[in-house]
A and B are shown apart, each in its own frame.
Chain A
């Protein structure tokens, strides 16, 4: 905790904290999947979560928009504050929260509907568009930001499930940004993408950073180094190290972090 603070002070520019997590614990039944995690996710910043498989990156990410609510055996404890408001408060409707904190999942999961409807669904249920023209505009803008517009603009009525894996993932990204979330959680968004699409998505992430806060889980050290300003390293449910990306990759403090980024564990 003290470490984090020092890094923050070292930061070139200090930004407002968007999500503040304190003493977070997650249990799956008896399995303790997240242990005592304290993280501050900053606004207008890309935060990368790295760590070996099964260390709890996805689990922690899902805490941030209460997707763990859907898992019966999952129990979440600790304090998560979005803009100072406790998101696990009884009065919070997870539906409203998820409109603010969007998510792109590890596995592409487009709706079995048309490409257009996939993107338009969020804006429709949140009433973001006043009319059809509005909606068309949102859809086009989102698909452009998802770096997939050129590939699908002629077949918006085709089913989203008929796209290739990488295209599906970009469609999911477009769907997530269509609702204009304030925080975007991305769980390995590029694991199914080719280098070109990956570059496009990274560009998108960089662009999103201008306005939102982005949290990205990735297994690619290079990607974490390229897109993020902050990096958190998880290991066996613990947050081992959290700080400036440059710092973590060049001068890690924990030996476990060092062995992971140099490829010795994980």
Chain B
């Protein structure tokens, strides 16, 4: 450098080129940077496309599950059928089986044909009544049993249409497919069209999808997520109540109090390993310990909750320890320096600062647990459960379903209407996950402080 300047001649010296023109090195560096950015953008585009594809396919398949076809009929609650002895005894009326209500629906269709001319040639009233879901008679029975004084009245009742009729308006069933379908005939579809014209058949928002229990193979229209949502909710309560205190206490002890020795090292390694154990292993563990050994009931949220707790605990401990570690040691020094005990330092200063991280970790752990399927199948939560579990704490011990397992269950069934149900259930699951993540973000914002 000194030589070059003293000789005064060399324009090729290191920094002698113009600032306005990039030199070779700079150009290569810039090119490398541009390439790297290109890769980054490409990766993000791929990720977003995958996400959009996934979400849109689920929405496309599943959003229709929230809408259902209903048929509104005038039903004469015939005392001759419901109160055969004519005693008017409520007990007697309550005893009438679902089977006993079917003729009432048939009668309604007969009346429709006679009075309003809504009928199709060659379609008997009995066949016409098949437009109504098999659940319809049961619904009607429930309605009457709720108030037996209704017997003798003519009421307007909103029935679920059968799965095939519902499918007809959602594009699953066509006249052609009905020709070869044992469960539906083109005549029935024509009748449905007539009902629709008369304003008796409508497709509307279906709360039942969220509140009703699961239904059997051949009545997809009546299948709902009520029991599954309740079961998942109960399990989340159990997981939250167990993992948060246990996880946070364990992390605080390990991070702030435990001596650093072989034993704590071993504990640490094992916690990290537990986080990587496949979830189905936890299911086997739960099956052998909680059900076979401890004798807890199968399919119960308590067992599911305990298994998911085992699964979530390592995640929460790792997240909590990371956020405790992130609190600058100077804060601990400051607290100890004014004479706080270690516990005071932790609870007054360190924990509040670590709180956003702990909460985020907990919610992410919960979200993971909410979507977990394999271990729950092992402990019997795949069972077909029609009964709602009662309120906690007893409800924790009664059979229930779980959202992700319900999704799996429905995809296993033959009727294509269940595909729609399964996708709808996935939407519900995703909405819950979104809500949980939103809560995590809000909590983090609220608790976040700078130091």
Contacts and interface: CB of A to CB of B under 8 A. Distances in A.
B338 A112 contact: no
A70 B350 CA distance: 15
B198 interface: no
A82 to B, nearest CB: 14
Interface stretch (A29-37, A39-47, A102-110): A102-110
Given A161-B450, A161-B451, A111 B337 contact: no
Interface string B253-271: 0000001100000000000
Interface in B328-345: 328, 330-341, 344
Q: Is the interface of B mostly helix, strand, loop or mixed?
A: helix
Nearest to A181: B339
B85 interface: no
B335 A111 contact: yes
A95 interface: yes
Interface in B316-338: 328, 330-338
B338 A109 contact: no
A249 interface: no
Contacts of B259: 72
A199 interface: no
Nearest to B344: A125
Contact of A179 (B338, B341, B349): B338
B338 A122 contact: yes
B336 A179 contact: no
Interface in B225-263: 259-260
Nearest to A118: B334
Contact of A70 (B332, B348, B349): B332
B451 A175 contact: no
Contacts of A98: 336-339
Contacts of B337: 65, 67, 98, 102-105, 176
Q: Is the interface of A mostly helix, strand, loop or mixed?
A: helix
Contacts of B332: 70
Contacts of A94: 336
B450 A112 contact: yes
Interface residues of A, number: 29
A43 B339 CA distance: 21
A216 interface: no
A111 B333 contact: no
Contacts of A159: 449
A107 B333 CA distance: 11
A217 B259 CA distance: 31
A107 to B, nearest CB: 6
A105 B336 contact: no
Nearest to A160: B451
B353 interface: yes
A121 interface: yes
A176 B336 CA distance: 11
Given A95-B341, A121-B348, A111 B334 contact: yes
A99 interface: yes
A99 B339 CA distance: 5
B338 A105 contact: no
Contact of B334 (A96, A99, A172): A172
Contacts of B338: 98-99, 102, 121-122, 125, 175-176, 178-179
Interface in B424-450: 449-450
Contacts of A126: 339
A110 B341 contact: no
Interface in A154-206: 159, 161, 172, 175-176, 178-179
Interface string A123-143: 001100000000000000000
Contacts of B328: 109
B349 A111 contact: yes
B192 to A, nearest CB: 67
B341 A109 contact: no
A179 B339 contact: yes
Contact of B331 (A109, A175, A176): A109
Nearest to A65: B337
Contact of B333 (A96, A102, A109, A179): A109
B260 A112 contact: no
A102 B334 CA distance: 10
B333 A67 contact: yes
A102 B260 CA distance: 27
A164 to B, nearest CB: 15
Contact of A110 (B334, B340, B344, B348): B334
Nearest to B341: A95
B330 A105 contact: yes
Contacts of B340: 95, 121, 125
B342 to A, nearest CB: 8
Max chain B C-beta neighbours (<10 A), residue from A121, A122, A178:
A121
A5 to B, nearest CB: 32
A95 B333 contact: no
A112 B353 contact: yes
B174 to A, nearest CB: 66
A112 B339 contact: no
B333 A105 contact: yes
Nearest to B332: A70
Contacts of A175: 334, 338
A98 to B, nearest CB: 4
Given A102-B338, A179-B339, A112 B333 contact: no
B334 A95 contact: no
A109 B334 contact: yes
Contacts of A65: 337
Nearest to B329: A70
Interface in B68-83: none
24 contacts: A67-B333, A67-B337, A70-B332, A70-B333, A72-B259, A94-B336, A98-B337, A99-B338, A102-B339, A103-B337, A105-B333, A109-B328, A109-B333, A111-B331, A112-B353, A121-B338, A122-B338, A125-B338, A125-B339, A126-B339, A161-B449, A172-B334, A175-B338, A179-B339
Ranked 10 nearest A-B pairs via Cβ: A99-B339, A109-B330, A122-B338, A103-B337, A112-B451, A98-B339, A109-B334, A95-B341, A112-B449, A72-B260
Given A72-B259, A98-B339, A126-B339, 7 more contacts: A67-B336, A95-B340, A111-B331, A111-B334, A122-B339, A176-B337, A176-B338
Interface of B: 259-260, 328, 330-341, 344, 348-349, 353, 449-451
